[in-house]
Each structure stands twice: as structure tokens, then as C-alpha cells.
A and B are shown apart, each in its own frame.
Chain A
Amino acid sequence: MRIRVRYFASVKEWVGAKEETLELPEGTTVEGLRRRVLAANRRLENLDQVLVAVNGSFADLRRVIVEGDEVALFPPVSGG
């Protein structure tokens, strides 16, 4: 399945893209996707934490991603 993945702030800079579409096996979990992105971008190891949201909400790492989900990876927030 093809999943749209968006990146923000420092994660966007380390990956070098605002978003990409990944081909993922059925049954991939949020943690699986996160590991895959981290492994493909070794520089992300410099970040203490990479958070994941699915369809605009913080996601449980065990959640299974399904076709049509929008996944976002980003660092801890610092607004306000």
C-alpha cells in the first residue's frame, strides 16, 4: 500500500523533504514506519525524539496503518 508521509520542522530538514509517498507492506504499524524512516535517514538519530501523528492525531505506536492514512513525523512541539 502507498502511504503519504509528511515531515515537519527539524525532521523535515533532516529528511530533506516536506513529504513523500512510501510503499509499505500491509500490516505496517506506526512504530514500523517510524523505524523505517529513521533507518533511511541516519541523521535523524541526532534527534532525541520523533513523534508520529496519523490523520492529525497523535498515534499509538502499535496502531496499524491502512491505505489512505496520512502519517506525519515531527519533533517535540515548541509553539506558544
Chain B
Amino acid sequence: MRGTRSPSSRPSAVVEMIRVTREDFSVDEIIAGLKSRSTGGVVSFLGVVRGESKGKPVEHVEIEVYEEMARRQLEAIREEAISRFGVEEAAIVHRYGSLKVGENILLVAVASAHRAEAFDACRYVIDEIKRRVPIWKKEVTPEGEWWVESEGLE
């Protein structure tokens, strides 16, 4: 059940729209794979490893994922974003493993005819990832290491 090609997506897409991977990614390549003739804009969010947390230096982070479930959740979120906001296409890439400060963690990119729905859809995807995709972040600092508490949406 791979939902990366829903009926609403363009069949020409060569880039996989959902990726859960250890590997780094090319933002340009993903955005190029999203665009079509009717696209008026692409809104993207790139999450990177921050070198500081609550005033303390972070050496690196460890990202753990329940991969099968994360993929299913991301596919569902992508389809919701497309149908709720009427955008053309959305790509989500989330990395896991050991990531150094400044490295890419997450890319959400949304292509749309017009900007307003692209911003809304991008925001929706990020909020839903933080709420219901089984991925956890551990910060490793000189003072020890700890799992990041859920940021939640309250």
C-alpha cells in the first residue's frame, strides 16, 4: 500500500514524494520534481539540527524512527494536505540516524497554483508531523544526552 502516487498527484513525478532515509537530500532536486506547468509557487520548510537547546550547546542529535508507521502517517498527511488545501503536490523527507549540527533533518515542500494555500498546507504538514509521526529526537550535549520532549501543539 504505497500512497506516494495518489490519484490526485501527477503521474509524471519522478521524485518519491515521501522519503524516510538516513541519506541527505537535494532540496533543488525535490523542488524540481514537484513543479508542473500550472505551478505558481513552491513553499518549503527545511528543518536543520540546531547547535543549541535551551541555552546549552548540542553536539549532534540522534533521530529514531518507527519506519513502517512513519511512512504510513506521512503518506496520510501528504494526502490530507493536498485534498484539504487544494495544492498540487507535496513532498516530505525526514532523515534519521546521527546528524551533526547544521545538517538537514526535514524537508516539506508544497507546490501550488497560488501562494496562500501552499503556505497553509506546508504549515499543516509540519504541525501534523510533530503531532503524530513516530519519530524521536535525542540531543547529545557535553553535559549528557536526553530525548526531546514532545513539542506538541497543546
Task: Name A's B-contacting residues (CB within 8 A).
Answer: 6, 8-10, 53, 56-58, 72, 74-80
Among the listed stretches B24-32, B33-41, B129-137, which one makes contact with chain A, having 4 or more residues with CB under 8 Å of it?
B129-137
B contact residues around A57 at 8 Å (CB): 69, 72
B116 at the interface (CB under 8 A from A): no
- Complex interface: stretch among B5-13, B82-90, B143-151: B143-151
Residues B106 and A8 in contact, CB atoms below 8 Å apart: no
**What residues of chain A lie closer than 8 Å to B106, measured between beta carbons?**
79-80
Beyond A72-B66, A76-B150, A79-B129, is A56–B136 a contact (Cβ under 8 Å)? no
Residues of B within 8 A of A6 (CB): 66
B47 interface neighbour in A9, A72, A80, Cβ under 8 Å: A80
User: What are 8 residue pairs bridging A and B, where the CB atoms are less than 8 Å apart in the complex?
Assistant: A8-B66, A8-B136, A9-B136, A58-B132, A72-B134, A77-B130, A78-B147, A80-B94
Number of residues in B with C-beta < 8 Å to the partner? Answer: 29
Contact partners of B147 in chain A: CB under 8 A: 9-10, 75, 78
- The minimal Cβ–Cβ distance linking A36 to chain B, given in whole angstroms, is 20
Residue of B nearest to A58 (CB): B132
Separation in Å of the B32 CB from the closest CB of chain A? 24
* Chain A, residue nearest B148 (CB): A78
Contacts of A75 in B (CB 8 A): 136, 147, 150
One digit per residue, 1 when the CB lies within 8 angstroms of any chain A CB and 0 when it does not, for chain B 118-154 equals 0000000010011111111110000000011111100
* Chain A contacts for B63, CB-based, 8 A: 79
B51 CB, nearest partner CB in chain A, Å = 17
Contact with A along B56-70 (1 / 0, CB 8 A): 000000011110111
Query: A34 to nearest B CB, angstroms?
Result: 16
Output the nearest chain B residue to A47 by Cβ-Cβ distance: B147
Does the CB pair A76–B152 fall under 8 Å? yes
State the CA gap A72–B63 with chains docked (Å): 17
| Alpha-carbon separation in the docked complex, A10 to B137 (Å) | 10
Closest to A76 in B: B150
Q: In the bound complex, what is the Cα–Cα distance between A5 and B10 (angstroms)?
A: 38
Residues of B within 8 A of A9 (CB): 64, 136, 138, 147
Contact of B131 among A8, A56, A77 (CB under 8 A): A77
